[in-house]
Amino acid sequence: MLATFGGFEIAQLCGAMLRAAEHRLLLIDGFIASAALLVATRLASAVLAYCVFCHESGEQGHRLLLAELGGRPLLQLGLRLGGNWLRAGLPAGAGCR
């Protein structure tokens, strides 16, 4: 799947997700991250149990990926900003301790 649809960045992200699952928390932010997660779940299905889906982007493909993964995003803003929710959400989440 990576050879056909992905590139090095998707492969790297997939590998990072597999490693991050060892710490039991993955923040999945957007379409590209969801694509990498799909590959990661095909390699190790347990990864999905540790995922928090940050938002649903405006891309139709992202909605399809979320449906395939069973992901329920925290926000549905229709943004196409790749990674901006993570930057905005982490400082807000830090105050929740």
pLDDT in tens, 55-73: 888 888 899 999 999 999 9
pTM score of the predicted model: 0.76
pLDDT, tens only, 27-62: 998 888 999 999 999 999 999 999 999 888 888 889
Q: Residue 86 — very low, low, confident or very high, per pLDDT cuts 50/70/90?
A: low
Secondary structure letter of residue 91 according to DSSP = H
Question: Do residues 32 and 10 lie in contact, with contact meaning Cβ atoms separated by under 8 Å?
Answer: yes
- Per-position b or e across 20-52, b if 16+ CB within 10 A of its CB: bbeeeebbbbbbbbbbbbbbbbeeeeebbebbe
- Give the C-alpha separation, 21 to 56, whole Å: 21
Residue type, 59: E
Please return the burial class of 94, using the count of CB atoms within 10 Å of its CB with bins 0-12, 13-18 and 19+. exposed
Domain that holds residue 71: 2-94
Tally the domains of the chain. 1
Q: Read off the tokens for 14.
A: 């997939």
